[in-house]
Amino acid sequence: MTDKQSARETEQRPVLVVDFGAQYAQLIARRVREAGVYSEIVPHTVTAAEIAAKNPVGIVLSGGPSSVYEPGAPTLDAEIFTLGVPTLGICYGFQVMAQTLGGEVANTGLREYGATDATVKGGGGVLLAGQPEQQNVWMSHGDQVSRAPEGFEVLASTAVTPVAAFGDDARRFYGVQWHPEVKHSDYGQGVLENFLHNAAGIANDWNSGSVIAEQVAKIREQVGTARVICGLSGGVDSAVAAAIVHKAVGDQLVCVFVDHGLMRKDERAQVEQDYVAATGIRLVSIDARDQFLTALAGVTDPEQKRKIIGREFIRTFEQAERELMAEAAADGEPIRFLVQGTLYPDVVESGGSPGAANIKSHHNVGGLPEDLDFELIEPLRALFKDEVRAIGRELGLPEVIVGRQPFPGPGLGIRIVGEITFDRLELLRDADAIVREELTAAGLDQEIWQCPVVLLADVRSVGVQGDGRTYGHPIVLRPVTSEDAMTADWARVPYDVLSRISTRITNEVRDVNRVVVDITSKPPGTIEWE
Does residue 339 have a pLDDT over 60?
yes
Out of 40, 91, 141, 312, pick the active-site residue. Answer: 91
pLDDT digits (tens, 9 = 90+) for 462-511: 777 766 677 789 999 999 998 767 678 999 999 999 999 999 999 999 99
Residue 344 contacts residue 378 (beta carbons within 8 Å): no
Residue 197 is among the residues annotated as catalytic for this protein: no
Out of 40, 44, 112, 181, pick the active-site residue. Answer: 181
pLDDT band at 431 (very low <50, low <70, confident <90, very high): very high
Does residue 145 have a pLDDT over 90?
no
Average pLDDT over residues 123-138: 92
The pLDDT score that the predictor gives to residue 186 is: 86
pLDDT band at 379 (very low <50, low <70, confident <90, very high): very high
Rg (CA), the chain: 26
Return the percentage of the chain with pLDDT > 70, whole number: 91
Average pLDDT over residues 71-89: 93
DSSP string, 435-480: HHHHHHHTT-TTT-SB--EEEETT--EEEEETTEEEEEEEEEE--E
Average pLDDT over residues 265-275: 91
Cβ partners under 8 Å of residue 354, min gap 6: 40, 347, 381, 382
Does residue 436 have a pLDDT over 70?
yes
465 — phi, psi (to 5°)?
A: -135, 125
Terminal Cα-to-Cα distance of the chain (whole angstroms): 51
The pLDDT score that the predictor gives to residue 488 is: 84
527 — phi, psi (to 5°)?
A: -70, -50
Average pLDDT over residues 266-282: 92
Residue 184 is among the residues annotated as catalytic for this protein: no
pLDDT digits (tens, 9 = 90+) for 4-48: 433 333 457 999 999 988 778 888 999 999 999 999 999 999 999
pLDDT band at 3 (very low <50, low <70, confident <90, very high): very low
Out of 44, 179, 246, 363, pick the active-site residue. Answer: 179
Does residue 357 have a pLDDT over 90?
no
The pLDDT score that the predictor gives to residue 347 is: 79
The pLDDT score that the predictor gives to residue 354 is: 38
Residue 181 is among the residues annotated as catalytic for this protein: yes
Q: What is the mean pLDDT of the chain?
A: 87
Between CA 245 and CA 223, with CA 219 as vertex, the angle to 5 degrees is: 100
The pLDDT score that the predictor gives to residue 110 is: 63
The lowest-confidence range among 1-15, 135-149, 251-265, 493-507 is 1-15
Q: How far apart are CA 354 and CA 374, in angstroms?
A: 18
For 97-122, b/e burial (b = at least 16 CB within 10 A) is bbbbbebebeeeeeebeeebebebbe
Average pLDDT over residues 305-327: 90
The pLDDT score that the predictor gives to residue 112 is: 66
Q: How far apart are CA 168 and CA 323, in angstroms?
A: 64
